[in-house]
Chains A and B, each alone.
Chain A
Amino acid sequence: MAPRICALCENARAMLKRPKTGQQICRDCFFYVFETEVHNTIIQSMLFQPGDRVAIGASGGKDSTVLAHVMKTLNERYGYGLELFLLSIDEGITGYRDDSLETVKRNQQQYDMPLKILSYDELYGWTMDAIVSQVGRKNNCTFCGVFRRQALDRGAAMLNVDHIVTGHNADDIAETVLMNIMRGDIARLGRCTTICTQGEDTIKRSKPFKYAYEKEIVMYAYFKKLDYFSTECIYSPDAYRGHARVFLKELEAARPSAIIDIIHSGEAFEVSEEVKATQKSQQTCIRCGYMSSNDLCKACTLLEGLERGVAKSGITDRGRKQLESQGPTPDNLRTIPPFKLPSGNPTIAIEATS
């Protein structure tokens, strides 16, 4: 095939076809449009204020590494005036997380940002390895997702940041929309496409990569030669999300704009009034103070099940009944430390860069 000229600068040779738009563009133009689209997302959604302290949820994987790189680039290029931190959660998965944390430590050097690592073990007393040995491989992702969400908020509170950003990309959000439809999870369906979530009792959290295609993130990382860790979590192959992911990839192959279109459909959903009336309103957990839809937050519920030897009590009806039949909660049960929003003073020292 004859070499094509870049559709944007009409100067250099086209090196790639953008999965998002089908445009054939050169490498430099690709970097520019990718970065600029994220910048536009940030500005249009008014995500940040000058002086904000922002924690980047960093796993060492492709999305968070590229996010750290792009946030740093845009912060400098457009003068956002942000203080950036890397926040990493160690779930305790041998052979997966310990390797990816090495990547995050390298990222800290490469991007010159302070890094805080918080582990499930120190926070909950349970590693994912231990949890899987109790729960098996089918429902373990529920534990991990719930525990990680709280862990990020707690780590951010310790660092006294105003905002957490995560590397969720367009594919992730489209998958979530599909998953919530498939499972009839109306409460989540109404929330999952919001770019920035803020509650009274939680730290602001946004997804600057909401409209960035996963393929483009990988291409960006490859051409910029960014250092990232790339293996599937050893416990994930049986996760429900896998079904949505496979389906989405096939949809994308047939029609690349499907990913963005699904997100737009998700944004256009409005939960009907009758259904809204049946939804639970938000309160705080009576045990640890984190946000919750019930008296006990999900993390405390799951942890109680683990500690009392009925790991699935937070997952299945049968497990719940089994736990209830055991009697009331014992007094000396291990619990999660109380949660407090940032007070203005960091409570822990950050590992500073050299």
Chain B
Amino acid sequence: MATISLKVEFSGGLELLFSNQRAHTVELSKSEPDKPTLQDLIDWLRDNLLKERVELFVEDGTVRPGILVLVNDTDWELEGEGEYVLKSGDEIVFISTLHGG
């Protein structure tokens, strides 16, 4: 069983869904030889940390349109989105764009 430690940050109002806390440390495990992916993290967050209003974070299995995801400050679209394989120490940021300007 491989366990990795990640830093997860929520911004743009998303933190309100996660106990009003912006920064979290997450431990993810997966049985070898499979390694945890970003999609696994999203599922895990939905099942374990999300305190309310699931539909404001995930839709059709992935993050709701309008939420930006950064992996180590890089756009997740450049890293394979949900298929990106996580490494210990990775920093994942979820930013919502869905609010007034």
Which residues does A use to contact B, with CB under 8 Å?
Answer: 1, 4, 14-17, 24, 59, 61-64, 167-169, 172, 214-215, 217-219, 222-223, 230-233, 236, 245, 249-250, 252-253
With contact pairs A1-B79, A230-B12, A231-B13 given, residues A219 and B100 touching in the complex (Cβ less than 8 Å): no
Of the residues A24, A62, A245, A250, contact of B101 by C-beta under 8 Å: A62
In the assembled complex, which residues on chain A have CB atoms less than 8 Å from the CB atom of B73? 15, 223
Q: Chain B interface mostly helix, strand, loop or mixed?
A: loop
Which residues does B use to contact A, with CB under 8 Å?
Answer: 11-13, 16, 64-66, 68, 70, 73-75, 77-80, 84, 93, 95-101
In the assembled complex, which residues on chain A have CB atoms less than 8 Å from the CB atom of B75? 15-17
B88 to chain A, nearest CB (A): 19
Verify B68–A15 contact, CB threshold 8 A. no
Verify B65–A253 contact, CB threshold 8 A. yes
Of the residues B66, B79, B101, contact of A217 by C-beta under 8 Å: B101
Of the residues B65, B80, B99, contact of A230 by C-beta under 8 Å: B99
Of the residues B77, B79, B95, B98, contact of A222 by C-beta under 8 Å: B95
Verify B100–A233 contact, CB threshold 8 A. yes
In the assembled complex, which residues on chain B have CB atoms less than 8 Å from the CB atom of A232? 13, 98-100
Q: How long is the Cα–Cα vector from A149 to B79 in the complex, in angstroms?
A: 43
Verify B65–A231 contact, CB threshold 8 A. no
In the assembled complex, which residues on chain A have CB atoms less than 8 Å from the CB atom of B96? 230
In the assembled complex, which residues on chain B have CB atoms less than 8 Å from the CB atom of A15? 73-75, 78
Verify B68–A215 contact, CB threshold 8 A. yes
In the assembled complex, which residues on chain B have CB atoms less than 8 Å from the CB atom of A215? 66, 68, 97
A58 to chain B, nearest CB (A): 10
In the assembled complex, which residues on chain A have CB atoms less than 8 Å from the CB atom of B11? 222, 230
With contact pairs A215-B68, A222-B11, A230-B11 given, residues A62 and B99 touching in the complex (Cβ less than 8 Å): yes
With contact pairs A230-B11, A252-B65, A253-B65 given, residues A218 and B77 touching in the complex (Cβ less than 8 Å): no
In the assembled complex, which residues on chain B have CB atoms less than 8 Å from the CB atom of A24? 78
With contact pairs A1-B80, A222-B11 given, residues A214 and B74 touching in the complex (Cβ less than 8 Å): no
Verify B77–A61 contact, CB threshold 8 A. no
Task: Select the residue from B16, B95, B100 with max chain A CB neighbours within 10 A.
Answer: B100
